[in-house]
Amino acid sequence: MPTDAGPEKGATSLAQRCDEQEIIQRQLHFEEVDSSFFTLFRYATPIDFIVIAISAVFALIAGALVPLPAVLFGQLSDVFVGVQDGGSAHHPGSGQQIGYYSTFFLYIALAALAAWFVSTAGFSHTGARISQQIRVRYFEALLRQNMGVFDEMGSGNLVSPLGADLNAIQDAMSQKMSITVSSIGTLLATYIISFVLHWKLTLMLTWSFFLSLALLYLGNLVASRYLGRSTEAQSASSSIAEEALGSIKSITALGLQGQISSSYDCQLKKAEKAGSSLKSLMGIMVAVTVGTGYLNVALSFWQGSIFLMHGKISFMALVAITVVTKTAAFCVLSVGHNAETFVTAKGAALRVLRMTSRTSPIDPMSDTGHVPENVDGTIELRDIKHIYPSRPEIAVVNGLSVRFPAGKSTAVVGASGSGKSSIAKLIMRFYEPVGGQIYLGSHRLKDLNLRWLRRQTRLVNQDTYLFDTTILKNIEYGFSGTPLDNLTASEKLEKVEAAAKSACAHNFIMALPHGYQTTVGPRGSKMSGGQKQRIAIARALVSEPKILILDEATSALDVRTEMLVQAALGASTTDRTTIIIAHRLSTVRQADNIVVVENGVNVEEGTHAELMGRQGTYFALVNAQDASDGNREDENENSDLEIGTKELIDNQHKARMGQDRGEDVWSTLAIPDQLAGPAIPTAKENHSSSSSLLSVTKFVLRLNKEEWYYILIGLFCSVIAGFEEPASAILFGHAVVEAADSIHDQAKPTASFWSWMFFLLAIVMMVVFSIQSSVFAICSERLISRARKLALAQMLRQEISFFDKNENSPGALVNFLSTEAADLAGISGGTFGLILIATSTLTAAFVVSVAFGWKLALVCSSVIPILIGSGFIGVWASSRFEKLNEEHTRASAAYAGEAISAIQTVASLTMEPRILQDYEKSLAVYAKAGLKANLKACLVLALARSGVYACMALGFWYGGTLILRGEYSLLQFVIVYSSIITSAYSAGLIFSFTPNIGKAKRSAVNLQKLLKRKSQIDPESPLGKTPAQQPRGNIEFRHVSFNYPARPQHLALDNISFNVAAGSNVAFIGHTGSGKSTIVSLIERFYDPTSGGILLDGESIDSLNISKYRTCMGLVNQEPVLLQGTIRMNLLAGSKGESISDAAIEEACKQANIFDFVSSLPDGLNTVVGNRGEQLSGGQRQRLAIARALVKKPSILILDEATSAVDTQSESLIRDALGAASRGRTTITVAHRLSTIRNADVIYVLEQGRIAESGSHSSLMAKKGIYFDMFSKDDRRQN
């Protein structure tokens, strides 16, 4: 028996590990999907398919009309030959025939107008409808995903398809689809007509069609590879920029501008290389297609003239086949121009379909699962083991069993990283445990309907997330999915106000200028940390949940507010299961039960008195806190709590009686709705920089000046390419005449000479277009890359107030870098090349036509403005519609992005249906407005495309009239007509391929303004005195007043003066909004004082070199920021290239009490921390930030609530370490926990931006003033 136990146990262990891996993989697994672009049409409705079918028929008709003018040209040429040979007297019906055939051009124009309008309008409409459905389904799929997917892929990567990817899909489904289908119609009509006219010659010419298709197929295969590389690199660069701009204060304090710019540039170079290859490849494909068209013309004349000489083909058939086969080549060229769009759309389809096809194992919108009639609030975790899918090597909870009784408050305490927050996430079913079961009453959690479960539960996290809307809306989101969501607006407002009062938020809300209608800003940025937490608590309380989970929910509150909130929560938990997760042991002493967690298991459990009596782990934690706080007088703790509860109840009673009207004062944190003007203005708003097209063109050329030799080569090739159509017209005219002459004189040489000329033209054009596209591809990509690099570097050099403006939010700036910088290609060498081709084409065509026949030349030239204008109008209408589409999708994508960034908040509030509904409504509003704009754009586009046929009618009629009069020969007519009409039409097409110049101009003006903007506090400025290598650290404020630029009406600091002696330990305390963090911001020179001065060792800090000055300081914020990368990289951030040994890193980690944790990780210092350090707990992030500050051994150490997220034991150890580390250096501490600063040399008490009291702890206690009152409350709370 014993011999079998070992293998059996091993087999069980192996099976268990397999089960665990299966659970982990299930939370991250994606099925392989069919990535075909046409798979996306599964989202089309039957009506959409009907409209698509009708649109496709009309697109085929529009395409089939394209070769008809060539047939008419052949017919008329036959008439002209007859007239030229025998004169008009021998052909009395010639004039009627010319009029008859010319009239056909008008019929074609009318048919083309109708066909193009119906096809483009139909495809654009269905493209918008289907892409809208895809957007909704994709967003819904995101909202259904389990949290492991968001941890693994990041919210930014998941949301990005709603913008660029869906725009590409819509573009491909709309006008590009119409153009492609019409090109197919052209090809079909071309070959049908050609085979009917002469099947042998047509068969010989089909090689070009198959060659073009092969090139298109192979080119797209290679293009997909380059596009993937480019997209990946651009996503990586955008991620770097977003991370840096979203953490600008930390980046500025650490002086990481150069490091960020270097990383960004590295990704830009990858994108540039792939982008250049992609554009060059597409250009070469176009060049080969152009060359193939002329090779076909050469073959057609060479072989056709032989057939003609032997009477096997008519002259009309030869001319018609030659012209239509060239037209077919340009149809393939048109498809080639759209190939990049379809390649991009196919890649986008893969990303979209992978998400929409995935079945989430934890679907918050699923209707499956049991819905109990009554809620039993008892929660029990039995032998739980949990591993985060994104960190499969670490079990954060291992064998945990704990019970949370219904209607009771249970606290969970323990060190950072012990698994406390993981318990909350498992109860909310954000993740699946890999072992054990969780029960609500008698039901397994995973058997319950997830939406029902979360509606009974409300979670308030330490990292509070508020949505960018009003305070009222944010609190009302707490109603989501509950019966209370059906209340009237007035009833909801009453509930909201009651919840806000319970959270001690009502008074400060009413003191704001707009009260509950105040907008909180992105992520609640216009509110302080304490205000955000109080609003979040009100949001959780408003739905009267049966289960309330508070995960460090009051960590950002000052002492008095925290006591009032706790009293209110205690008074309202009679029928509610409350789970309190906390580091501050004082916040949990009144809990009915306290669970102590260590290394993922519960090691102790009981009331505060019971656990203290056992003298175990909890006893040690409390003693550690008491030891760190020092010996204090034991006062009556209940008296103050009773006062706090009485005050709260009195307030609530007054509210019910209508007597509590709030203080009639402006809040110190009042935020006006309108912030200062934009730092990156629109072209219309720019006054300092000239916005003329010429000036911005010069600016863009200066950006591209390093590629001047490429530009010159490209421009030279463009001039040569511009002679293509006129040269082709001359060759075509001579070839036609020689072919006509060979009918009557078989001894006369055939058109073989002119065939060789066409062959030579084909080779030249292939070479010229290939070189031109390649050099301009390099210029364009380098321009975009350089613009992005300069723009980000300039953004990172701006003062912090620049980023306080709404229009300069991280999202807006990243969009500027990714989108507007790319728009600069509209004013680049490539654009000049296209314009030069069009200009030289028209100039050469006019010269040639005037030289061969000035009369017809002048008449035909009169239609040039119409042809080019139609091209411009078509582009304008199309780009206007696309701009409308882009602006709206950007706005809707931003809304979706905010929701996904706060996915845990959305999920905990069961807001998914509401978010999805609002998103769908916003898209529906656009669809209604966009339909009218779409119809207008399509009508203008149809007029532009059909107008060319009317111009052809004029040219044929007048040219025929001149031939009938004997004034012109066939050669003159063909050359003049082909030069003017064909060249002007080609020039119009070239302009249609030109990027949006207006958009490019706007982007160039904005970039120019940004680059010219002088930062008021430039972190990379070489100016200023260099501080001593090790400054003494004496900091003095002299009559300093300050108001934030975004809040000019409010003084954050009001004429304060103080002196921080070198090497001393100074603390600043005060209620939320009193000005504590403002002092830190001024010391760091994030801002400059409005008046007064700040000195370091007797020198005004604004006279010192800012970079060297900040090197002397180490700053640790309340919300520490870690960058994507390894622990080592983060610890060395801000070291300015200094050589830091591993021993120094380890010492800093030991001082911050993080060394043991880092050493326990499989990869140690090389462990990747994830996006913004999300792979680590809040306490671990904060300790790493402290270690980062200590690594560079600063002369001045600034701690802004630096230990708020760490447990008591770690805080005690860190405080001891900081105490040792602060010897010989100036230490400035900002804190809410007064116990953490009682040993400071000087304590400054701030109130409404002024110093109300100052002195040592003992002297302030002796005064029995504000500090005494605050400390006494904090002391009693701790005890």
Q: Residues 1051-1091: pLDDT tens digits? A: 889 899 999 998 889 999 887 778 888 899 899 999 999 99
- Tell me the average pLDDT across 738-763: 77
215 close to 291: Cβ distance less than 8 angstroms: no
SS3 for 769? helix
- Domain's final residue, options 628, 653, 671: 628
Which residue did the predictor score with more confidence, 154 or 1116?
Answer: 1116
User: Is there a domain that residue 929 lies in?
Assistant: yes
241: left (phi over 0), alpha (psi -120 to 50) or beta: alpha
DSSP 813-867: HHHIIIIIHHHGGGGSHHHHHHHHHHHHHHHHHHHHHHHH-HHHHHHHHTTHHHH
With a cut of 60, say whether residue 197 has pLDDT above it.
Answer: yes
Asked if residue 549 lies in contact with residue 458, where contact means CB atoms within 8 angstroms, the answer is: yes
Give residue 664's pLDDT band: very low, low, confident or very high (50, 70, 90): very low
* pLDDT on residue 764: 94
Is residue 938, in this structure, part of any structural domain at all? yes
Task: Write the CB contacts of 199 (distance below 8 Å, at least 6 apart in sequence).
Answer: none
- How wide is the angle at C-alpha 458 spanned by C-alphas 1207 and 504, nearest 5°? 75
What the block records as the tokens of 636 is: 């009556």
Q: Does the pLDDT at position 642 exceed 50?
A: no
Do 389 and 496 fall within a single domain? yes
pLDDT digits (tens, 9 = 90+) for 577-623: 999 888 777 778 888 899 999 888 889 999 888 888 888 888 887 77
1223 DSSP 8-state letter: T
Residue 808 shares a structural domain with residue 761: yes
**DSSP 3-state assignment of 13?**
helix
List pLDDT tens digits, range 353-388. Answer: 888 888 889 999 999 999 998 888 899 999 999 988
What pLDDT sits at residue 1268? 84
Which runs of E-coded beta strand occur in 1035-1164?
A: 1035-1042, 1053-1060, 1065-1070, 1091-1096, 1099-1100, 1113-1116
- What percent of the chain has a predicted confidence (pLDDT) above 90? 16
What's the CATH number where 71 sits? 1.20.1560.10
- Choose the weakest-confidence range: 41-50, 974-983, 994-1003, 1186-1195: 994-1003
Q: Pick from 603, 597, 554: which is nearest to 423 by CA?
A: 597
Q: How many separate domains does the chain show? A: 4
Q: Which domain holds residue 980?
A: 206-312+694-853+970-1020
Same domain flag for 178 and 221: no
Q: Which residues pair with 1254 in a beta bridge?
A: 1244
Residue 1055, pLDDT score: 92
Q: Please say if the pLDDT value at position 657 is more than 50.
A: no
* The last residue of a domain, from among 628, 645, 670: 628
Same domain, 1217 and 1125: yes
Locate all alpha helices (DSSP H) within 631-692, ordered by sequence: 637-657
Give the per-residue pLDDT at 758: 92
Given 628, 643, 659, which residue is the final one in a domain? 628
293 and 431: one domain?
A: no
* pLDDT recorded at residue 647: 36
Same domain assignment for residues 825 and 889: no
Choice between 808 and 1014, residue whose per-residue pLDDT is larger:
1014
H/E element holding 205? helix 199-205
**Are 869 and 849 found together in one domain?**
no
pLDDT of 759 above 90: yes
The 10s digit of each residue's pLDDT in 56-88 is 999 999 999 988 888 888 888 777 777 766 554
Give the CA count within 13 Å in the CB-facing half-sphere of 138: 27
Give SS3 for 677.
coil
pLDDT of res. 13 = 65
For 869-901, write each residue's pLDDT tens digit.
665 665 566 556 656 665 666 667 767 877 887
User: Domain check: are 210 and 273 in the same one?
Assistant: yes
Residue 1039 CB partners (closer than 8 Å, separation 6+)? 1055, 1056, 1057, 1091, 1092, 1093
Do 1063 and 1050 share a domain, yes or no?
yes
> Based on the domain organization, do 174 and 127 belong to the same domain?
yes
Please check whether residue 665 lies inside any domain of the structure.
no
Average predicted confidence (pLDDT) for the chain:
80
Q: Is the pLDDT of residue 679 over 70?
A: no
Q: pTM to 2 decimals?
A: 0.74
Average pLDDT over residues 299-315: 86
Return the amino acid letter for 771: I
| β-strands 409-414, 1091-1096 pairing | unpaired
pLDDT class of 639 with cuts at 50, 70, 90: very low
What percent of the chain is predicted at pLDDT more than 70?
82
Residue 597 belongs to some domain of the structure: yes
- Is it the case that residue 1258 has pLDDT exceeding 70? yes
Tokens linked to 1276: 């009693």
**Is residue 566 in some structural domain?**
yes
Band (pLDDT 50/70/90 cuts) for residue 1166 is: confident
Mean pLDDT (whole number) for 151-173 = 77
User: How far is residue 779's CA from residue 711's CA, in Å, rounded to a whole number?
Assistant: 7
Mean per-residue pLDDT for 421-429?
A: 90
Same domain, yes or no: 278 and 348: no
Give the model's pLDDT for residue 995.
45
3-state secondary structure 369-384: CECCCCCCCCEEEEEE
Confidence of residue 671 (pLDDT cuts 50, 70, 90): very low
pLDDT for position 886: 58
Above 70 in pLDDT, residue 1206? no
d(CA 1240, CA 1231): 12
952 and 1054 in a single domain? The answer is: no
CA gap 912, 901 in Å, rounded: 13
pLDDT range class, residue 688, cuts 50, 70, 90: very low
Question: Domain for residue 348, yes or no?
Answer: yes
Considering the domain boundaries, does residue 534 fall inside one? Answer: yes
**Structure tokens that stand for 18 in this block:** 């397999």
> What pLDDT score does 992 carry?
52
Output the domain CATH number for residue 470.
3.40.50.300
pLDDT at 10: 53
Residue 821's identity, in one-letter code, is A
Which of 70-74, 700-704, 984-988 shows the lowest per-residue confidence on average (mean pLDDT)? 984-988
State the DSSP H helix or E strand holding residue 506, giving kind and residue range, or none if neither.
helix 506-511
The least confident of 190-204, 491-505, 640-654 is: 640-654
Residue 940 has pLDDT above 60, yes or no: yes
Q: Is 322 inside a domain boundary?
A: no
Lowest-pLDDT choice from 331-345, 581-595, 732-746, 771-785: 331-345
Using pLDDT thresholds of 50, 70 and 90, give the confidence band for residue 497.
very high
CB hemisphere CA count around 550 (13 angstroms)? 34
